[in-house]
Structure 1
Amino acid sequence: MVTASRPAHPLAPGWLTVPDDANDFAPGVWPASITRADSGQIEIGGMRASELAEQFGTPVMLLDEDDVKRRAARTQRAFASAVARHDGSCRVYYAGKAFLSSHVARWMLDAGLNIDVCSRGELETALAAGVAADRIGFHGNNKSVAELERAIGVGVGTIIVDSAIELERIGAIAERIGASQNVLVRVRSGVHADTHEFLATSHEDQKFGFSLEEAERVVARIRELRSVTFLGLHCHIGSQIFGISGFRESASRVVELHERLLEGGPVPLMNLGGGFGIAYTRADT
């Protein structure tokens, strides 16, 4: 057992505190199944670290399947319960950019989630795992023509439109192959959430998506295209956000846009985006 007593490093951020017990596992950071044996060795899901290292070598990344599925299912239930209070339904997507393999994709399906991808490689991984194309959302602010052709060809559930030229490409590809492609329009709500400036994605100097004013013209254009179906709006304000004020303000602006767009036709979906903070240390909540 090691007890930390050394002074804080002068270059360490003020919020990073030295734990009283260096062998302690911070809840929320480690998998729920992690323990330490009497010998001091880490065990994950009943497997000792030394056994895993001997079998797979090091370094090795370990995921506890039961713990991952449990967290995913809990997230699905939380959003479904909240939306049900407003007589609605919801779809929760796992972000493939976090880590995607065929096993992880199937775990997410088992937990009732859909899959969000943002590259050809992620799309192919999800398809190879047996994910139905209509349960895939395709992101990315610089999708290639080849990526769009593949996505439309297999019938992905939604493509999140990030630029005017991308919309025209989608329309042309879908028209050529006789498909009808569902899209969401990504909007910048103008909210600069309380996160690092490199992780904020929704204020006006960002390259992601359209401003609230531009979005109305883009939706009007979509409604003119025979091969593209407008499903709704998407907004993502950044990453590592631990407060709720930014989400609340952004949502209110997107809801106002949603109301204006209803004058021209249905707007079935609103994706209010993500960015909830992940606990990397005990200081994070």
Structure 2
Amino acid sequence: MDIKILVAAHKRFPMPADKDLYLPVLVGATKNYKNGIEYQRDDEGDNISYKNPNYNELTAIYWAWKNLDCDAVGLVHYRRLFSKGGKRELNNTLNKEQVKRLLDRAPIILPKKRNYYIESNYSHYVHAHHKEPLDATRKIIEESYPSYLTNFDKVMKKRSAHMFNMFVMQKKEFNQYAEWLFDILSKLENKIDITEYSVQEARVYGYISELLMDVWIETNNKSYVESSWIQIGRRQLMAKIINFLKRKFLRNAGNSRTHF
């Protein structure tokens, strides 16, 4: 079974040793390439590499959808990878045999859900980001994919989700998901104005896509298995907690009003 797990990176970084399984991809390659970064570039073939400042790692997913021929496709990040659990080290990432065994159980591998406990997926998003793009996404689904609307609303009300745009999928499922996802995001580009967004907030399409994975999974009744994941390097948990509290309690109160 030919499996390729893309490792999205914008710079040179230590990579998993299994080169047959893991394919480092330089995202935003035209801008981010420097001598010595011999990764697969996301600006070759049919691509949207130029959208990387707004689409994040999705430019690697798009490149794989349009250019990569294999039996299963996955995506992880240079610092966040599927693992066997335990130590946050590169030698603790899933190997090919382990990935095969998981795919024998279901056609999709997802990271264990991230729990928000005191917030819904919707409220967590709007406390961190502009809420207009998420509301516009709901409208697009209502108009173009009405059969997905019920599960969109359900996912927004939940307090956990499969995040990070991490997955491994059999090629059939991958093609189906990518076609649906990029159609919604292309429509969203025509619905919102991000010209005044900060550099961080301009990455909006990547942020939105994280919440769409579960909508697609649940609407299509896709079977999946979950895997542990690790983050390489410092996690800065205290800084994240402080930033979360600032966003929740200091952001414009109007952002917290929601029907979800």
Common fold: TM-score over 0.5: no
Tell me the TM-score normalized by structure 2. 0.25
Tell me the TM-score normalized by structure 1. 0.23
Q: Determine which structure has more spread, i.e. the larger CA radius of gyration.
A: 1
Q: Which has the larger share of helix?
A: 2
